[in-house]
Amino acid sequence: MTHTEPQQGPRHRALTRTALAALALLAVAGCGGGGNGDDEPGATGLVPTAPALGATLFNDATVLRPLVAGARWQYAGIAPDGGAYTNVITQASASPGVTESGTNTFNSGPGSVHVAVVNGNVVQPDPVDANDDGITDFANAVELQSPVRVNDQFVAIDQRLSNMVPDIDGDGRGEYLDLASYSRVIGTEDVALTGLPTQHAVRIDRITAARVVLTKDGQKLPTVTSTQTVWYAPSIGVVRRRLDAPDETGVGRDISDERVTGWSGLP
């Protein structure tokens, strides 16, 4: 997905940074469901129509995402500046599923996420209140859906949120933020690994988009997008992940890419 941003003044650049912060939240935390309260109902228009479904790759998505307390994966990555980094992912028992912790995913430092299997789908069940209004905005995010089919598209969030952008148009109300995040199964690809056999893996793209909307006249500022691509190999899990996101200016792109170098604790 490409992104082109027109010339912006200081005010619009500040609002673009707000949208970038929202992208970062969704990229790290995952998202799903939808809130209400003083948020605006309905879709944002940022999610495209899903294509026709293709071939079934796996009937059971869980074979692509082992959840095993004590399992461990090591990754070697390339940061946006070209520097090398390492990342270690470990899983610990949770109820339900596991807590998955990373030491440096996408070279962004430590973090963790709750992952579980619900109705045959791999999900991130924990709720998130993105705009601190007491209403859950993200919950039960689907990471992998059974069966795994080419072109399958599942939407995590597609909503207009309030109270996330300060008032800048002088009408006494904070501006809206359109947030959308959806995943699409691309197909299978070979992933070359250093010192390990090449893995035939399922590729899934997760696209997240954010756009500030002025409350005074409904003007929509430029949309910013990020794409997280993840490759899953059966019985191993994530063998590669890549993040293509806007840089701090909102004009250039930052790309991080990491591939598995080893794993342990799997059946």
- Residue 16 belongs to what H/E stretch? helix 10-29
As to burial, measured by CB atoms within 10 angstroms (0-12 exposed, 13-18 middle, 19+ buried), residue 98 is: buried
Residue 146: its pLDDT value, please? Answer: 98
pLDDT at 266 over 60: yes
Q: pLDDT tens digits for 230-264?
A: 999 999 999 999 999 888 776 789 999 999 999 99
pLDDT at 164 over 90: no
The rounded radius of gyration (Å) of the Cα atoms in the chain is: 19
pLDDT at 34 over 90: no
73, 175 Cβ separation under 8 angstroms:
no
| pTM across the whole model | 0.85
Residue with tokens 């090398």: 84
Question: How many Cβ atoms sit within 10 Å of the Cβ of residue 58?
Answer: 17
Q: Which fold is adopted by the domain 10-264?
A: YmcC-like fold (2.40.360)
Kindly report the average pLDDT of the chain as a whole number.
Answer: 84
Q: Can you tell me the distance from the alpha carbon of 49 to that of 59, in angstroms, rounded to the nearest whole number?
A: 24
Closest CA to 143 of 193, 211, 94, 97: 97
Bridge partner list, 263: 73
Residue 24: its pLDDT value, please? Answer: 54
Question: Which of the 8 DSSP states describes residue 138?
Answer: B
The token pair that represents 18 in the structure block: 């707000």
Average the pLDDT over each of 2-6, 22-26, 124-128 and give the range with the smallest value. Answer: 2-6
Q: pLDDT tens digits for 35-79?
A: 333 456 568 999 999 999 999 999 999 999 999 999 999 999 999
Mean pLDDT, residues 8-14:
42
Question: Which of the 8 DSSP states describes residue 52?
Answer: P
Residue 196: its pLDDT value, please? Answer: 97
Residue 236: its pLDDT value, please? Answer: 98
Domains of the chain, by residue range, sit at 10-264
3-state secondary structure of 168: coil
Strand locations in the chain (E): 56-58, 72-78, 84-93, 98-102, 111-118, 121-124, 141-144, 148-149, 153-165, 175-193, 196-213, 224-233, 237-246, 253-264
- Pairing between β-strand 148-149 and β-strand 56-58 as defined by DSSP bridges: antiparallel
Most distant CA atoms of the chain, gap in Å: 60
